[in-house]
Amino acid sequence: MNLTQKFFPFRYLVFLLSLMLLIGCNPQVPEPTSSIQPSATLDSISPETQTPTIEAPTPTIIPSQSRVILVAPPESGLDQIEELTATLSELAEAEDMEFEVRSSFSPQDLSPNLRLLVGVPPDPGLADLALAAPGTQFLGIAIPELQPAPNLTVIDTQEIDPGRIGFLAGYLAAVVTPEWRVGVISSNDTTAGVAQRQGFINGAIFFCGLCRQTYPPFESYPMYVEAPSASNPQEWLAVGDILIDKAVKTVYIPPGVGDESLLEHFAEAGINLIGTAPPPLGIEEQWIATITGDISSALRSAWPELIAGQSGISVQAPLILTHINPDLFSPGRQRLVGNLISELSNGYIDIGVE
């Protein structure tokens, strides 16, 4: 073994130690890191981390409440205005609609939220208003000569069967009059007048049969007198005196017969009266009742179709008694006559008038 081979391990060891010292004296220093993060820019923020923008709320447009309007001028003269107003108010409230009563109405008053316009005499021009507002429903009550249209319904109180009215008047007169001393004054040259007279006779007989008296004067009751429809007031008074002379105690006055002077003449003679219009002032004590069409019942019947937008029909008002004098027409007799009205409406009675 030579000298080089002898000292090789030692030299190798020295080399390794020198290399290790060199490495230890030059460590690799890592780049410094900062705990402070750079400020984020608007573009670097994701949509999920952005603060939402608060926008002003869009105003909600609430549609106006639907309305029902009754046009009732002070001069209307319809004797069921109060009851009609109450019925309309009730029906409108049930449908969550506003209800209003006006004395007049013009095309400028039409509005999109007007659901139903009801008119009574005098006619506020319902036919023209219906043409101007095809999306609105219209209802005419007791307006003469008004005809239905696609959005116009009519409640008719003018063309109630005159025979039925007369029949009811005769029955009522016989119910409330002792000895059935009843009579009717009518026109003899009109179909309605003849039907009223025959209906009255049949209605009285329907209740009292032979209608015989138990004490004088003995007359043939029920009784009737008549005159031409064009008779003047004095002629009607002269015809009326025949009934007074025959001891008639209750008289039915149909439409178109005489005037207020005839009614006052009968009242002064102590005759009780039945008519188809409200009693004139001063004769209420002699007034038994008024026979007319039941507007409220007809309205309730037509209401579902009106609200559903189904119009253009004519509704016949059923019979009803108003202006009842309880001193002459007791509650018990009212129930009796009420049963007859129901049977007439249901067609259970043949009134014997063609």
pTM over 0.85: no
Q: Beta strand pairing status for 287-293 and 319-322?
A: antiparallel
Q: Is 141 helix (H, G, I), strand (E, B) or coil?
A: strand
Give a yes or no: residue 84 inside a domain. Answer: yes
Q: Using alpha carbons, select from 269, 232, 234, 276 the residue that is nearest to residue 250.
A: 269
Residue 227 sits in a domain of what CATH number? Answer: 3.40.50.2300
CA 291 – CA 294 distance, rounded (Å): 9
Regarding whether 245 and 229 lie in a shared domain, the answer is: yes
C-alpha span between 115 and 17 (Å, rounded)? 109
Residue 51: inside a domain: no
From 124, 156, 188, the end of a domain falls on 156
Per-residue pLDDT for the chain (354 aa), expressed as one digit of tens each? Answer: 444 444 445 555 555 555 555 555 455 544 544 444 444 444 444 444 455 555 555 554 444 679 999 999 988 878 789 999 999 999 999 999 999 999 999 999 999 999 999 999 999 999 999 999 999 999 999 898 899 999 999 998 766 789 999 999 999 999 999 999 999 999 999 999 999 999 999 999 999 999 999 999 999 999 999 999 999 999 999 999 999 999 999 999 998 899 999 999 999 999 999 999 889 999 999 999 999 999 999 999 999 999 888 888 889 888 999 999 999 999 999 999 999 999 998 889 999 997
- Residue 295 located in a structural domain: no
Domain presence at residue 189: yes
Taking Cα atoms as reference points, which of 28, 188, 155 lies closest to residue 84?
155
Of 156, 190, 209, which one is at a domain's C-terminal end? 156
Q: Which domain holds residue 131?
A: 67-156
Q: Is residue 174 included in any domain, yes or no?
A: yes
Let me know if residue 137 belongs to a domain. yes
Token pair recorded at residue 146? 């008004």
The residue out of 96, 125, 156 marking a domain boundary is 156
Tokens 């109180």 sit on residue: 157
The reply to whether 340 and 207 lie within a common domain is yes
Flag whether 310 is in a domain.
Answer: no
Q: Alpha-carbon distance 219 to 247, whole Å?
A: 8
**Number of alpha helices (DSSP H) and beta strands (DSSP E) in the chain:** 10, 12
Residues 206, 117 within the same domain = no
* DSSP helix, strand, coil percent of the chain (3-state; round to 5): 40, 15, 45
Q: What CA–CA distances, in Å, run from 187 to 74, 84, 106, 163?
A: 32, 32, 40, 14
